[in-house]
Amino acid sequence: MVGGLKPGFGAYAASKAAVETMVKILAKELKGTAITANCVAPGPIATEMFFNGKTEEMVQKVIDESPLSRLGETKDVAPFVGFLATDASEWINGQVIRVNGGYC
């Protein structure tokens, strides 16, 4: 979750919590369909949306808070999302998978 549980992120955090809860319920509601429901929760990813409205100092602070000392990139997340779309992930269901480099 970008920003974690920090002041100013209340609405954002609440919307993400709702999605995470919905996925857990949806996984149960899809019983018998062979359809799985999971949620990928990326950390801060270097996209236009992430950079929008942030100063260089704000971006650097996020980088400094990251255990891997960098922002994530779409190439860090996309392979995992692709994996979830394959049969190899059929036993992963109702999960929130944090693809965030350890950023909390």
What is the predicted pLDDT for the residue at 23?
98
Q: Catalytic: 103?
A: no
Span 76-97, mean pLDDT?
A: 97
Domain residues of the chain, as ranges? Answer: 10-99
Phi, psi of 55 (to 5 degrees): -80, 170
What is the predicted pLDDT for the residue at 2?
44
Nearest to 13 by CA among 4, 21, 26, 22: 4
Structure tokens at 39: 């949620």
The model's pTM: 0.83
Q: Is the pLDDT of residue 3 over 70?
A: no
Q: Which of 4, 12, 82, 102 is catalytic?
A: 12
Q: Is the pLDDT of residue 73 over 80?
A: yes
Q: What is the dihedral of CA 19, 20, 22, 25, to 10 degrees?
A: 170
pLDDT digit string (tens) for 4-62?
Answer: 677 888 998 899 999 999 999 999 999 999 999 999 999 999 999 999 999 999 999 99
What CATH code is assigned to 10-99? Answer: 3.40.50.720
Span 77-101, mean pLDDT?
A: 97
